[in-house]
Structure 1
């Protein structure tokens, strides 16, 4: 059932245009993006259900999900998932632009940046953090989800964001859902592989930070880079 079924004056889209987005609830904002519900369920009810589903972690958790997983929620599908994910990412980028990108001068700064994003994750995510010569973060790219293997983390995917934004150097990072930040043998192997690739490309890997509930591990600070 579409938004147009609501009585005149109660349409979230109309209220947004008349009074601004701030007057709408989370469910109403989401309903504007979804536009239609599903058979037997109004779009506002669908939106309220999704908001309730993510109440504990917050709607930002949607950005941490694979797009295909979000699309599998009943009533969503590929097109709606793309619209919602694009809107959330645009909002995240707008917020980052307003507040300025952080400077990452040490591994603890990486931990601060990623801990909130990763605290509820049940899978490993591999991040690329391209930096300027003054250590300003240029972007944050989540390039892999799952187990760290050659099939999932390849230098091509790691260095593409750094090349695209003209990074002077790059920090890589990933989370350990187990809570233990100590790197595995595969983490050591991958770090060495990316370090050597960075030397060839002229974009040095200056640290690999493992973020976990119980702290972090920095390859650079441990003298391993």
Structure 2
């Protein structure tokens, strides 16, 4: 980043990468096609804007809503538009960052590799919010896996009931009770951190 550019050079590079990645993901389909796809998702991005992204002439202008809608229209993860040169293309996640490889930056955005900067903080502030955010991400993975496990064990229980196997039925019941306790504990931990969780067992 050059002095006094307020991060603009970094932001412009990010937008150029995202525009190039969107162009590649679109393939031979036209800017109008992509514009129509974004319109179908509830927010039209005009062919003119898409053409500017294609050519790298959109400056530093790419809003979060635009990024999300473009990613959905192209059926790619938003972070893959931001950091497309995976795995080893060099990027900076923010203007003063040290160089990272693109895959590491992608994982950082997704929360898979959350880096908590625990520098000295001003009086009255703490790192609790950063730790809570990382913990919520971990717990979200846990609850998703737990729900999948519950569905699998419930299927095993139904199968054992159909077979009339008392031994298999008892084993499945014990496993189900254990997994329900684990899921309930995970839900309680998420609530303690202020997270939002559906207790009906759905991920949506």
**TM-score normalised per structure 2:** 0.29
Query: Which structure carries more helix by proportion?
Result: 2
Considering fraction of residues, name the structure with more strand: 1
